[in-house]
Amino acid sequence: MLDAEFLHLLDVRAYQLVIGVWSLYWPTMLVVTLLMLVERRFPLEPDQPWRPWLFNMVWHTLLLAISVVLSWTAWGQFVTWLGASGQLSLLRMAAPQGLAREVACVALALLTHDFLMYWAHRLQHGVPVLWVLHQFHHDERHVNSSTSLRTHWLGLMLTQLLVMVPMMWLLGFEAMPPAAYVILNTFAAISHLNAKVSFGRFAALIVGPQYHRVHHSPERRLHDRNFATVLPLWDIVFGTWAAPTGNGDRPLGLSYAVPSNSHRRVLVQPFVDWWRMARRAAVRI
């Protein structure tokens, strides 16, 4: 029989899993649901099917559960150790205090995350073994606010290494305040919005749906553009900017891949693709 200590640990872990997933899930669920109402009222692509939206919402639950479980493992300990090994906190705010400090910390976290995420995103497009992880996000043909949730769990681990660890080095362990997390998820959802929304004179300052829709084009020359999450500035400075087309009727997704519609398959698909890549490389040798 299982001893009492193990059962207690199991009970604690189950509680932590439920609370951890729910605390991260409900703000995103609220944002995406509200945006879905906007999409249904002012659709850019009318009559989108419901099934991809539900698939993405369920997938996000699995992703958050995996992220919580990973934090208990050697991987979580490794990321924590790696973040602590730098701890330069070069950009730590010494002053002011109070609300002004909180606002400054959130703004600094957003700016730092956006810059690092631009390069992590660009790297996933440029390196074939990393594209295997990211193509799950791009195989969506009916892009909408829930598409922002299509992040592979291995891609999440990559983001921890390329984005969160450097942020801990620069900003300390409080690198990502909860407010910054919610704001980033909101921006990501808005950028995928299936609605007739224009930012007008601010379109060159903030990533909007028309700007990011270019990035989801099946044409390689376009989906290797507009990598930014919040600020188009990074695309402009580093030469990956492309003008929004304003056309909502263009096909999206990947011309060579059907949209992923099985959670079980998504979990293991990168390993299958890497195995195939390794076999092709071995044949060439």
Judged against a pLDDT cut of 80, whether residue 10 lies above it is answered with no
pLDDT value of residue 203:
77
Residues whose CB falls within 8 Å of the CB of residue 279, separated by 6 or more in sequence, listed in order: none
What Cα–Cα distance (Å) separates residue 69 from each residue in 63, 73, 87, 156?
10, 7, 25, 13
Nearest to 252 by CA among 44, 59, 76, 100: 44
Count CB-CB contacts under 10 A for residue 56. Answer: 22
Lowest mean pLDDT among 58-62, 139-143, 251-255: 251-255
Stretch 110-122: mean pLDDT, rounded?
96
pLDDT value of residue 122:
97
Judged against a pLDDT cut of 80, whether residue 38 lies above it is answered with yes
> pTM score, two decimals?
0.90
pLDDT value of residue 141:
93
Lowest mean pLDDT among 4-13, 21-30, 225-234, 246-255: 4-13
Stretch 187-194: mean pLDDT, rounded?
94
Three-state secondary structure readout of 20-79:
HHHHHHHHHHHHHHHHHHHHHHCECCCCCCCHHHHHHHHHHHHHHHHHHHHHHCHHHHHH
242 burial (CB, 10 Å; 0-12 / 13-18 / 19+) is middle
Q: What is the pLDDT of residues 132-164, one digit of tens each?
A: 999 999 999 999 999 999 999 999 999 999 999
With a pLDDT cut of 90, the percent of the chain lying above it is: 58
The tokens describing 189, both together, are: 């959802």
Please, which pLDDT band fits residue 187 given cuts at 50, 70 and 90? very high
